[in-house]
Amino acid sequence: MMRFDGYAVLLTGAGRGIGEATARRLAAEGARVLVTDLDGPRAESAAAGIREAGFRAEALACDVADRAAVEAAVAYAVERFGRLDVLVNNAFSCHPDPPLAEDLPDDEWARDLDITLTGALRCVRAAMPHLAAADGRGAIVNIGSVNGEQDFGNHAYSAAKAGLASLTRTLAGQCAARGVRVNLIAPGTVHTPNWSGREAALSKAASLYPLGRVGLPEDIAAAVAFLASQDASWVTGVTLPVDGGILIGNVALRGVLKRAWRGGEG
């Protein structure tokens, strides 16, 4: 299915993981994609892989904490593709929590919010005039997290993702009249390169998911493709969990209660 013939797409944080998988998916469906990442060589490697597969991709280093860099990335996409139809905000920062909340450093808190939340807003501000001129195809897909919906740790990252979900709703209300849809995907645990060396933890986490596994970047990419496409032309302002069912209940607690009712020790 070629849902994105003629589309131009800019993705942030797309050098690997969810961003790279999403760039590949949209390119495979006909889009011309600009892969941006803080790590320029990583962005180029991802774009080269897409081109080797026979699809169209460009690459550019972009720090979403730098307004000038964001504006340059949007300008580059429009220059190369002649238009911009879709923005995928995937860049994020996540520092591990200290044992005590009072020990959370100000700079780590500020960095996570600046990249994850304010960085997305910088991209929206730069891209919006072009998305509004995209003949009704303009769409923004923000990559949030189940951390923005429930407690899974990481104070700053979770606050930023919750803020991104709120920003998605307020932008959707404001941008609808301009023909631009704004939605958010809230992934659960996804096996990305960020988990390298911690596969044992992923295996344990999988048992807590109702669907019995952690996610793959391609699971999220498929959801992005839906929300960015005209298949979702009457969908805006939503948070779509793509989470293996983790938000529907507490699997570990359910197991304890089940064993208790069966006469076990729990």
Residues serving a catalytic function are 157
Closest to 215 (Cα-Cα) out of 243, 250, 249: 243
Closest to 126 (Cα-Cα) out of 136, 114, 118: 118
Q: What is the largest CA-CA distance in the chain?
A: 68
- DSSP bridge pairs for 59: 35
Q: Find where tokens 């460009």 sit.
A: 58
Q: How many CB atoms lie within 10 A of CB 226?
A: 17
CA 208 – CA 218 distance, rounded (Å): 20
Burial of 35 (0-12, 13-18, 19+ CB in 10 A): buried
Q: Find where tokens 């699971």 sit.
A: 219
The helix/strand/coil state of 143 is strand
Closest to 239 (Cα-Cα) out of 192, 193, 191, 171: 171
Fill in the amino acid letter for 130: H
CA 179 to chain centre: 22
DSSP 190: B
